[in-house]
Structure 1
Amino acid sequence: IGLDYLIIHPFTLEFSRISSTEFVRDILVNELKAKKIIIGYDHRFGRNRNANIQDLFAFGNTFNFEVEEIAAQEIDDVSVSSTKIRNALIDGDIKTANEYLGYNYMLTGDVKKGKGLGRQLNFPTANLFIKEKYKLIPKNGVYVVKSILNGKLFYGMMNIGFNPTVDGSTKSIEIHFFDFNSDLYGQNIQVDIIERIRDEHKFKSLEELKTQLLKDKETSISIISS
């Protein structure tokens, strides 16, 4: 997001006992050389949280740094937007999530070997393994996606779910990239999610599944073209 440095200071017992004056003078001014501080309207700091933003304005005058206040309404707006994004992803409403984010929601992970079912259906897939357990995975279903692979842009379709047609028991994320034939095993890739096509279904046969995949590809290409 454009930050040059991110400092996360451990909140130790010793640190918790620093007065507001010591915190501003010794850490913000002498150590960090702060020239401008952007802070929430209700932020408190110093031992026992005894200083507020008005105190910080006063410190700013003393130590010659600027203070910018983030208003309550702005914080509420961010909070509301975050909740809407999470709910949209859970509901599979990727369009709404992307609109609030201002960019495409993305999944990043390593490509692992799967069962090879996609290749049997002439729809080879990259099986994406995401190690971060906290990552919010959108609702099960089929999505239109894009990725940069080996330096080039490729579109495709992604299935999130359990592969019920073949009695799958483990949730997987599988992407079929259009017009891509190289080996991706072991590579770390980023997948941008563009739009959701449909729910995941259990088909009566692999042939019926293949027919649906062909329809999904046509739908995906239509969405990409538009």
Structure 2
Amino acid sequence: MKIYTNLHNYTSKNKTFVTIGTFDGVHIGHKKVIKDLINSAKKNGATSVLLTFFPHPRMVLQKETNIKLINTIEERIQLLEKLGLDILVIHEFNEKFAKQSALDFVKNVLVNKLNIGKLVIGYDHHFGNNREGNFKQLVEYGKIYNFDVKAIPRQDISNIAISSTKIRKAIERGQIIEANQNLGYPFMISGNIVKGKNLGEKIGFPTANLHVNEMYKLLPKTGAYIVTSEIKNKQIFGMMNIGFRPTVRGKNQTIEIHFFDFNQNLYNETIQVDVLKFLREEQKFESIEDLKNQLKKDKENSIKFIQNHL
């Protein structure tokens, strides 16, 4: 997969089959669209192109919403690379780009830049200034500019429509198993390991302190979670606490991971943690000894889950 960080850097002489969207989460509904695109392009000797945007349009057009995203842009690239696309174009979304009319977008971007032969989109796709463009319009423009349009119907799991918004809400509530089912992979958190206060080490539960650089990255609610990570080509399980450490009067939110049967130094390493299950709410304990006893129970419950489900 070749990656272009600007529409202006990519022009195709070959006919392209294109899909467009933010694809936050790259969930199983998104994958249906993308796989359909790739298969169709291969059959017709065309180039498969995914056009996505960063920042998320709602960050630009609805600044007051303070939206958090399931994936960082790096995580999104990582997920898309696994699917077999030919080209990924990540275009900066800004107010000027947003003000293009639907017709200008079709003519300037799809036709002149991408040399489009077919557009594959979700059933509810809108585009152009004020989201004026819709599927019906695209079909009409396709007749004028000689490209086909295909809409992928709504994808359901147990009669619940999959959407990035619903997955975000599940993650925010700590409903990790539900979120992972709809994503089709474990929700991930990526960041750098930074120095902490070594309080965990003093009570027999040393932790790696994960710092997430991207302020827009969605985090689950505070609490304890079962996690796994690939470290130096080995899968390591553990438990993670997101919270304010009320027992030791912590002031800032931290992400601390205790890896099982692991004692290597990870300072300054960049790691990805896959979140598997919510264990319990964060709570304030009467003593450090009570905290230590709870951590022992958390570890036992984590190992039972790992043995029974993984």
Name the CA shift for 1:14/1:194 in 2 (closer, same or farther; >3 Å).
closer
- State the SS of the aligned residue for 1:134: coil
Change over 3 Å in CA distance of 1:57–1:90 after alignment to 2: closer
Q: Which of 91, 101, 126 in structure 2 is aligned with 1:8?
A: 91
Alignment of 1:33 onto 2:128: no
Partner Cα separation in structure 2 for residue 94 and residue 51 of structure 1 = 35
2-structure distance, mates of 1:125, 1:103: 25
TM-score, length of structure 2 as denominator length = 0.62
Partner SS for 1:132: coil
SS in 1 for 2:163: helix
Provide the secondary structure at the position in 2 that maps to 1:142.
strand
Which of 162, 165, 168 is the equivalent residue of 2:244? 162
Give yes or no for contact 2:99–2:128 (8 Å, CA) kept in 1: no
Deviation sequence 1:86-134 (CA, Å, 0-9, x none):
2222222211221222211111111000000011111110001111112
| Contact 2:209–2:254 (8 Å) recurs in 1 | yes
2:275 corresponds to:
193
User: Counterpart of 1:153?
Assistant: 235
Using structure 1 for the length normalisation, give the TM-score: 0.83
Give SS of 2:200's match.
Answer: helix
Distance 2:189 2:141 in 1: 43
Structure 2: distance between partners of 1:153 and 1:169: 32
Q: Distance in 1 between matches of 2:112 and 2:140?
A: 17
Instruction: Specify the alignment match of 1:216 in structure 2.
Output: 298
Assess, with a 3 A threshold, how the Cα gap between structure 1 residues 51 and 172 changes in structure 2: closer, same or farther: closer
**1:30-84, CA deviations, whole angstroms, 9 ceiling, x for partnerless residues?**
32111111345674658x988764453344334432111356x569x99763333
8 Å Cα contact 1:44-1:53 kept in structure 2: no
Alpha-carbon RMSD across the aligned residues, in angstroms, is 3.0
Q: Tell whether 2:254 aligns with 1:172.
A: yes
User: How many pairs does the alignment contain?
Assistant: 222
Larger radius of gyration: 1
Contact 2:100/2:128, CA 8 A, preserved across alignment: no
Query: Deviation digits for residues 163-187 of structure 1, max 9, x if unmatched?
Result: 1111111111100001111111001
Matched residue type, 1:8: H
How far apart are the structure 2 equivalents of 1:145 and 1:43? 37
Q: 53-62 or 97-106: which moved more?
A: 53-62
Identity %: 45
* Equivalent-residue separation in structure 2 for 1:203 and 1:19 (angstroms): 57
- Please give the residue correspondences for 1:37-186 in structure 2 after superposition, counting only pairs within 5 Å: 37-39=119-121, 43=126, 45=128, 53-70=135-152, 81-186=163-268
Comparing 26-35 with 150-159, which one deviates more in the overlay? 26-35
Paired AA for residue 198 in structure 2? G
Give the partner amino acid of 2:221: K
CA displacement, residues 128-163 of structure 1 (integer Å, 9 cap, x when unaligned): 111111222111111110000111100000011111
